[in-house]
Structure 1
């Protein structure tokens, strides 16, 4: 007697297809970690290159008391991956797993510029968006003041209460910029925004109930929403 086949059963071909789709989705959200030698610094960074290369590469720069892991903890990395953006989140020299001698202020822009040149070359993406918080300004602001960085096109900037804004060259145009600060940040956030708003192409967003690190904690969801909206509008 023939055994009746369960109509709800998945055949072998369908099962293999389902497994392949699951593996593809896992790979899409996979975050790699590695080191890169830049001058005397051994820089650790998290990255994903499973997104679309026609979209800008997002470079994430942490604040003074944290490291690259905060971008995973606040779900920014997953948000970027789910929207098909490639990203790099580095540990600044002297932070996290990065090693090497301390850098003088004048050396920070050179080190950061070389890091970006190597990363853009490896990823095959020239257009980038730099997203930095607080003391990351020590690296980002001098970079913005440079005439150009070969092989790197800064298409956008997301400045989260960024330090060192007063050192910006007011005669040099900025890329399209999103200023983000917390409603409860009454010092660096407003002071930084006051300088940035002297440039064209700057849009300010204030996160309700947000503190200085408004991209973390309970207001991270709102920050990630602003981040993606900005990236999609570029």
Structure 2
């Protein structure tokens, strides 16, 4: 019998026209020490977290992990929100996801495209966030050093050293977060967790152990 329970489901949030698809993993006992929300980049979906073993790794580490397919992507393709990001109120979108799925306080893992959702959420609702794990997210330049400086949430900044476009640019902005540490994954590109899942999982679980 597996020590990990895997399920799939959907959640309806006000800003989307159809339910969002998600995958969930948790310890088979159902007794999780913390909740983790996994977001994804534009070419990816929640299935990537399943395939590389991140969902299983987190559940084995005693966490409840939820990986959603973002609006318009993956199996949430019909869940298109309003066309413009400004209308979607990205901070409120993730707040509603966390409320509907009882995830707060949540550890948010946010690669690439998902930065447009996670960064406003972090800056507006940090009371709902236990920790933040940005993986070369977009939109980091849209916020000031002062805004980042007001965030008390612990952060683990992760990027691949071959990610010349987003890696160092996001690090430059995110290093204004006061309680941050950095993991640079050698030989890994933009989706560094896909290039080297073992190093990614060790860095992630080591960080979660400090919370």
TM-score by length of 1: 0.80
Describe the shift of the 1:184–1:215 C-alpha distance in structure 2 as closer, same or farther (beyond 3 A): same
Match of 1:224 in 2: 201
Match of 1:193 in 2: 171
| Distance in 2 of aligned mates of 1:49 and 1:222 | 22
Match of 1:82 in 2: 60
Gaps of 5+ in 1: 1-21
| Distance in 2 of aligned mates of 1:138 and 1:165 | 8
Local SS of the residue matching 1:185: coil
1:83-98 equivalent positions in 2, closer than 5 A: 83-98=61-76
**Please, which of 122, 134, 142 is the counterpart of residue 144 of structure 1?**
122
Match of 1:233 in 2: 210
Coordinate RMSD, CA, aligned: 1.6
- Which string of whole-angstrom CA distances, capped at 9 and with x for unpartnered residues, describes residues 32-54 of structure 1? 0011111134100001243533x
Match of 1:159 in 2: 134
**Please, which of 35, 42, 46 is the counterpart of residue 64 of structure 1?**
42
Q: 4+ residue runs of structure 1 moved beyond 4 angstroms?
A: none
| Distance in 1 of aligned mates of 2:5 and 2:64 | 11
**Please, which of 181, 190, 196 is the counterpart of residue 212 of structure 1?**
190
Describe the shift of the 1:195–1:174 C-alpha distance in structure 2 as closer, same or farther (beyond 3 A): farther
Give, in angstroms, the shift of residue 174 of structure 1.
Answer: 4.2
Match of 1:10 in 2: none
| Distance in 2 of aligned mates of 1:88 and 1:174 | 23
Count the aligned residue pairs.
Answer: 200
Match of 1:105 in 2: 85
Match of 2:98 in 1: 116
CA contact (8 A) 2:26 2:62 kept: no
- Which string of whole-angstrom CA distances, capped at 9 and with x for unpartnered residues, describes residues 93-138 of structure 1? 0011112234321213222211111111xxxx53210001011101
Based on CA coordinates, which of the two structures has the bigger radius of gyration? 1
Name whichever of 57-66 and 195-204 sits farther off: 195-204
| Distance in 2 of aligned mates of 1:105 and 1:77 | 28
